[in-house]
Amino acid sequence: MTENVLIYGSYGYTGALIAKQAAASADLDPVVAGRNGEKVREQAAALALESETFSVDDDVASVVEDFDVVLNCAGPFSATADPMVDACIETETHYLDITGEWQVFDALAKRSDEAEDAGIMLLPGTGFDVVPSDCLAAHLDDRLPDAESLTLALGGMGGLSRGTAMTMVENFGDDGVVRENGELKRVPQAFDDREFEFSHGTRSGMTIPWGDVVTAYHSTGIGNVRVYSETHPDTIERIRQFRKLAPVIQSGPAQSLLKWLVDRRIDGPDDEALREGSGEIYGEAENADGDTVVSRLETPNGYALTRDTALLCTRKVLDGDAPVGYQTPSSAYGKDLVLEVDGVERIDVN
């Protein structure tokens, strides 16, 4: 069975994982694409695939009109999502991506009516950001339907890809974000910290601007959402001390230097790390009476999971399962979506 999916940004670390897996699948025949023609053509030749070369500043609609689904893997998504979605709405092409940028989730949620009118689905965050955490949020909401607050914490994460590190450099010094009483609230970096009981022990965590501050609210209606990442207390303190250096680090020369270092020193997890690595997400919901439920998800390496969940969602769309408008992974496919991936286990702690 030949399918019709365009993978844009296919030669980045995560895009390449997805493209390689798709090319090896008997039920998929993807087309790889990106703005660097040399890299795209080299990848296409290695994988025996067709390719397209274009940037989001070009006439994107003239390319995507030939496809049923676009899977956008090109970050920063703050630069690529809107023009790609413009083209998808114009051509009635379903849009998926692997963003973790909360601003992108928020912006695309506001375009739900446009997508619905076009008869397409907008599904950002089909990777580790935010399939497992969104499914866990929906599960906790089912366990405690009157929950008023939701806490998620990421633990045991592996190494970074070059693209993820580049995004972190670009965003260094930006505000964090939480959701309070249904509204997004900008907060300082490392705004809050607390301890979490992961399977590997009690660990400290600090608030991070993760996409669930948008997606979990859309999926569950819970009005207070915070997301944390396992972080050593000394690191939390250093980050708080470095806040005042943000203007310097955000300057052009500092950004150029940091990106130069990232480009030369970070490649992403190797094959062994992808196979053997793991992650964990802690989830906690609480209602007005103080009743609390806790569940955890144990997952493979985050990049391996992104590869698998992005293609899982793509296949569902190509099979005709694509509810129109803006969706989250769990609003489109239910809280058990992530359990369809090998190596994922959900544990109810209490």
pLDDT tens track for 298-326? 999 889 999 999 999 999 999 999 999 99
Nearest C-alpha neighbor of 94 from the set 327, 348, 288: 327
Q: Are 125 and 98 in contact (CB under 8 A)?
A: yes
Q: What's the confidence (pLDDT) of residue 167?
A: 54
Contact residues for 335 (Cβ-Cβ < 8 A; gap 6+): 135, 136, 138, 139, 142
Contact residues for 299 (Cβ-Cβ < 8 A; gap 6+): 128, 132, 278, 279, 280, 281, 305, 338, 341, 343, 344
Q: What confidence tier does 331 reach under pLDDT thresholds 50, 70, 90?
A: very high
CATH 3.40.50.720 occupies which residues in the chain? Answer: 5-127+304-336
Q: What pTM, to 2 d.p., does this model score?
A: 0.90
5-127+304-336 fold: Rossmann fold (3.40.50)
Q: What's the confidence (pLDDT) of residue 16?
A: 97
pLDDT, average across residues 324-337: 98
Question: ω into residue 130 within 30 of 0, thus cis?
Answer: yes
Q: What confidence tier does 29 reach under pLDDT thresholds 50, 70, 90?
A: confident
Give the percent of the chain with pLDDT over 70: 84
Could you say which of 3.40.50.1820, 3.10.450.50, 3.30.360.10, 3.20.20.70 is the CATH number of the domain covering 131-301?
Answer: 3.30.360.10
Q: What's the confidence (pLDDT) of residue 87?
A: 98
CATH 3.30.360.10 occupies which residues in the chain? Answer: 131-301
Q: What are phi and psi of 292, to 5 degrees?
A: -135, 140
